[in-house]
Amino acid sequence: MTGVLPSQTIRHLIHTGVIAADSPVLDNQVQPASLDLRLGTRAYRVRASFLAGRGRKVSDRIAEYEMHAIDLTAGAVLEKGCVYVIPLMERLALPQNVSAVANAKSSTGRLDLLTRTITDGGVEFDRITAGYHGPLFAEVCPRSFSVLARAGMRLNQLRLRRGQSVLDDAELTALHARTPLVNGPPLISDGLGFSVDLRRPDAHVGYRAKPHTGVIDLGKLAHYPAAEFWEDVRATDGQIILDPGAFYILVSQEAVTIPPDHAAEMAPYLAMVGEFRVHYAGFFDPGFGHGSGQGSRGVLEVRCHEAPFVLEHGQVVGRLVYERMSDTPDMLYGAEIASNYQGQSLKLSKHFR
């Protein structure tokens, strides 16, 4: 069947060698509709971001742009503002009818840790063509904080699909009629629109990354005092002004639901709505917000670009694109697995207490 491949199919692909790795793939890498990818033992500091390009290998481009190599075996600091290319442990031998898309994991995006997947012959970030045979690489660029990373850590994830599975507006409307996808009237236009919540208790609506902080060890959970790395953002009359170059954590006004037989991906809204981006970690797994019956808020990772911008309560800032699963996963987000962000509201990454 066409659709996003579920956990049980991902395990089958591992068993048959379609997904292979230098070190055996671990059971807990498999998510309801994706596979966590692991950093390899070496990182290459490069002069600039790049794509391999048709007919070219990433390893050749690394040799062209490399400044120095870093051993990640015992851990090493990836410095803020620098670009690194890291071979991943996993590699693919995809069938001709299976393609893949990658995305940063939730905690990666909430640290403003820009992470994109590149492949041999690739002409797009995070998009892997059907039938691809070869290695996988992560391009990692810490934007707000320097981080300590080790081999085996998981910054991004892979979603595999067979055929075309994206719901059009009519199908999405019908799905909402059967299973409410949002706590209120849906805004459906090329996906399910969502807006920003800037009328929260005490006017505390988000966090802004501090510009000069210490290093974050990605292996330490619930460890760092939030106040050392973030400042509170408070709204005035349901408005905030985004500063160019600053990074914010905000939250959606809507609580959304992903039914067990669907998955979703967050996409940025049209650029014409303002000089900012809302989208770093975009995968929503089957079961997200489903178990409670009330949905879960979407956390928004926001970076302002060229000019200060007034963001107002209820402004539409992004959309969720829903896809069919080829089969219902044998594990769901927030149910059979530990899920850090089920039932979330405004929440920083799991590294902060």
pLDDT one-digit tens code per residue, 175-195? 999 999 998 899 999 999 989
**Whether CATH 2.70.40.10 fits 3-162:** yes
Distance CA 122, CA 202 (A): 47
Distance CA 342, CA 353 (A): 17
User: What local confidence, expressed as pLDDT, does residue 342 receive?
Assistant: 47
Distance CA 222, CA 25 (A): 26
Provide the 3-class DSSP secondary structure of residue 100.
Answer: strand
Q: Range(s) for CATH 2.70.40.10 in the chain?
A: 3-162, 169-324
Residue type, 227: A
pLDDT-flagged residues of the chain (< 50) = 341-343
Count of CB atoms situated within 10 Å of the CB of 27: 8
User: What local confidence, expressed as pLDDT, does residue 341 receive?
Assistant: 45
Q: Which residue has the tokens 């810490």?
A: 142
Residue type, 270: L
**CATH architecture of the region 169-324:** Distorted Sandwich (2.70)
Distance CA 25, CA 139 (A): 21
Write out pLDDT tens, residues 216-245: 999 999 999 999 999 999 999 999 999 999
What does residue 89 show for φ and ψ, rounded to 5 degrees? -70, -30
Picking from 291, 293, 343, the residue whose alpha carbon sits closest to that of residue 182 is 293
pTM, full prediction: 0.94
User: What local confidence, expressed as pLDDT, does residue 282 receive?
Assistant: 81
Spatial contact of 325 and 10, defined as CB atoms under 8 Å apart: no
User: What local confidence, expressed as pLDDT, does residue 144 receive?
Assistant: 96
Bridging pattern class, strands 247-256 and 316-324: unpaired
User: What local confidence, expressed as pLDDT, does residue 22 receive?
Assistant: 86
User: What local confidence, expressed as pLDDT, does residue 270 receive?
Assistant: 52
